Amino acid sequence: MDFLKILKDIETIDPEITDRLNPRRAAIKNITSFGSKVALSALPFALGTLFNKAYGQTSNSVNDVLNFALTLEYLESEFYIKGNSSLAFTTGTAGNSAAAAALKQIQADESAHVTFLVNTIKANNGTPVTKPNFDFTANGTFNDVFENYATYLAVAQVFEDTGVRAYKGQAPNLLGNKVYLTAALGIHAVEARHASHIRQMRRAFAASGVTGVITPWISLGANGQANDSGVPAADDNFKGEDNVMQGGLDVTTLNGATTGTKTSKKIAVESFDEPLSKEAVSAIAGMFIKP
C-alpha cells in the first residue's frame, strides 16, 4: 500500500485534504517513521481513523449549528425591526442622528445574516428552522422595552453579547468545514462590533442608569464578577467571563504593565472573551421565545 500515492490521488479530488487532516499534518510528514511503528495490516484502520476525523462532520451536524445561529439571528433581526419603529427609538434617538443611524445599520446587518443563513442551509440540503414567535418583554421582565430607550438598549446589549459568545462557542463544531467556519467567524466579528457599539451607546445615554459604568468591552462588574451588562435578569446566564485561565496559564501570574506588579484580574478578564455553551445561550434566548 503506497500511502503517499493515496494521499496524492485524494488531493486531486479534494485539494484541502491536508488542511482537513491538520493538526495531524505532523503525522503525515513523518509517515515513514509512522509506518515503521505500525504493522502494515493496521494501516487501513489508521487511515480510516484519520479520514473519519477529517470528514466526520456530516451535513446534518453543520446544519444543526447553522440553524442554532439562525434562531439567534431571527431573534436579533426581529428585535431591531420592531424596536426601530417603536416609541423607544423615536424618542430616544430624537436629535441624535448617529444613534439612529447605528441602530438602523445593526438592523440591516442582522437581517442580512438571516438571509445568508437561510440560503446557506438550503444550499447544504438542509431545512431552515421556522422563525419562532417572540416575546421581547421576556414574560414581563422588560415590559417597557419598546417604550423606554434605556430598556431597549439594555436588551439589545443582552442579545449582542450573547451572539458574540454563542458564535465563539459553536466555532469548534465547524472546524471540519473551512467555508462555513470562515463565514461564521465573519458574522462573529460583526456581532462583536455591534456589542461594543451598543455598550458605548448605553454608557453615553444619560438616562441609562449605567453611564460611565458599562464599557465597550466586557469587564468586572461592581460585584467583582463578569458579565457587567447591568441587566440582572440575564446576568445569571452569563457565566464564565471572569475566567483568568487561558491555555492552562493563569493570566494573573504574568507580569503587569507596571514594573513589579502582576496582571490584575480586571485586565485578565478584559483581555480575553469567553465562549458561551449552547445550553446557556438557549436559556437566554428562551427568555424571549414564546412556548
For residue 221, the model assigns a pLDDT of 72
**Domain range summary for the chain, segments of one domain joined by +:** 3-55, 59-218+273-286
CA distances from 227 to 236, 242, 276 (A): 9, 7, 12
What is the value of pTM for the model shown? 0.78
For residue 88, the model assigns a pLDDT of 97
Q: Over its length of 291 residues, how does the chain's per-residue pLDDT go in tens digits?
A: 454 555 455 555 455 555 555 544 544 444 444 444 444 444 444 444 444 444 445 566 899 999 999 999 999 999 999 999 999 999 999 999 999 999 999 999 999 999 999 999 999 999 999 999 999 999 999 999 999 999 999 999 999 999 999 999 999 999 888 899 999 999 999 999 999 999 999 999 988 777 777 889 988 877 677 766 777 766 666 778 888 999 999 999 999 988 889 999 989 989 998 999 999 899 999 999 998
276: alpha, beta or left? (left if phi > 0; alpha if psi -120 to 50): beta
Please give the CATH superfamily to which domain 59-218+273-286 belongs: Ferritin, core subunit, four-helix bundle (1.20.1260.10)
Q: Shortest CA distance to 63 belongs to which of 121, 19, 18?
A: 121
CA distances from 36 to 5, 30, 40, 49, 177 (A): 18, 10, 9, 18, 32
Decide: 118 and 173 in contact? Cβ < 8 Å. no
DSSP code, position 257:
S
